[in-house]
Chains A and B, each alone.
Chain A
Amino acid sequence: MLGDNSYVLRKLHSLTGIIPLGLFIMEHFFINSFLLQGEEEFEGAVNFLHRIPYLWVLELLIAAAFVFHAGYGLYIVFTGKSNVGRYGYVRNWLFLFQRITAVVILVFLIVHVYTLRFSDLEITYAALSQALSSGFMVAILTLGVLATVFHLANGISTFLISWGITIGLRAQRFFGYASLFVFFVLLLVGINIIRLFG
């Protein structure tokens, strides 16, 4: 049945970038933004998340999708050869940034998940604020947010092309700008979270 499955793998890679990874990032930013309402609200939101039924299934799905997207993504990164020096068009730069941010995200997320999820750190505002407030941590988080937000925003517009949804110049350009908008919105939300923890 799966003779040459490269097509399925490509499509799965593209899809996992949005569902569940893109959705997860949005959820992650959303929950963290409860900090705007105060520490109790934030801890309440975190507690709510922890009480979701079948949470482990969701976590497993997201983790599996991430491993696949990152693994196959690295293969894609290594089979590309950027040439922005000779062909410095916007989409070509975006193509390069998509790959650079992919590698940055990979390194960042390993550190991020390891320090916050698989440590004995209690997820309370006080503990997090202490763990995240060093200048070094703020710099790492900012870089991580920048890379992730770019990768997701640009990924939305390339996703639409890859699935044959946006075909013409006008639609591709429209969603290019829409991605730019998503980029700035998510960036502001992300930076704000870092600021609130700091």
Chain B
Amino acid sequence: MADTIRLKIKRQENAESQPYWEEFDVPYQKNMNVISALMEIQLNPVNAKGQKTTPVVWDCSCLEEVCGACTMIINKKARQACSALVDQLDKPIVLEPLTKFPVVCDLMVDRQIMFEYLKKVKAWIDVDGYYFAGPGPRVPEKVRRFAYDLSRCMTCGCCMEACPNVNDKSTFMGPAVIAQTRLFTLHPTGEANKEERLDAISGKGGVAECGNAQNCIQVCPKGLPLRRAIGEMNRLTFSHSLKKWLKAE
């Protein structure tokens, strides 16, 4: 095994500036991941040509693939840097920031839009009062399992990065928020806001704008049941819209 690893990084000083490529050779360590390779650059910010440069900026938090903060494009695929093991990657390792979110600096992007989308569909359960109302309704095991799988979304944005219908020309909000709408319409206490959630997800940018490319299903690192979530939301939004139209005064 070579004792240095070549990294090729697409850098960008700030949201407005032009991106450029810079290469680095970092000392190899056994079992290192992309984050630890980036830490080596931080330790010694000298590029492959031997020139001193600014340390590469990236984002991370949990280091165990549950927060989604370190998501970037690694060898052309969107994934988490913390779980990308250097030994398993083709060299040189090419790192790029996600393209569907504004770049803050280098590999760090601003995924705020995902949280704005979650707010639109009220992806939370409202408190049902400030007194003890007894235990909540029981959830059948089958439903619980599906809900749990949906709840594992870490808003990493891989699905949006891979979705051909999410881009700056379209209004589509993407698969993650569809899955979360499914999750919160499944919840027995979340039922109270079901209509509002369905209104939001059948409105502009909603599930109807999915083009069935199904890349999201392939790339989600948490293996969310996106196929079922999208399929069921297609069904639910249709019956919701039809009922609403038939009942409207």
Contacts and interface: CB of A to CB of B under 8 A. Distances in A.
Nearest to B232: A167
Contact of B238 (A1, A87, A164): A164
Contact of B212 (A6, A10, A95): A95
B231 interface: yes
Contacts of B208: 6-7, 10-11, 162
Contacts of A92: 164, 213-215
B215 A89 contact: yes
A166 B164 CA distance: 21
Interface stretch (A74-82, A113-121, A188-196): A74-82
A3 to B, nearest CB: 9
A79 B165 contact: yes
Contacts, number: 101
Nearest to B100: A81
- Sort chain B's interface into a size bin: 35 or more
A163 interface: yes
A197 to B, nearest CB: 35
Nearest to A89: B218
Given A163-B234, A166-B231, A168-B227, A158 B212 contact: yes
A167 B235 contact: yes
Contacts of A166: 231
Contact of B76 (A7, A86, A95): A86
A7 B237 contact: yes
A161 interface: yes
Nearest to A11: B208
B93 interface: no
Interface string A62-103: 000000000000001011111100110101101110100000
Q: Which 3 A-B pairs have the closest CB atoms?
A: A164-B235, A167-B231, A164-B234
26 contacts: A4-B203, A6-B206, A7-B202, A8-B241, A10-B208, A78-B169, A80-B164, A80-B165, A80-B170, A80-B211, A81-B167, A83-B162, A86-B76, A87-B218, A87-B219, A89-B218, A92-B164, A95-B211, A162-B210, A164-B232, A164-B233, A164-B235, A167-B227, A167-B228, A168-B228, A169-B227
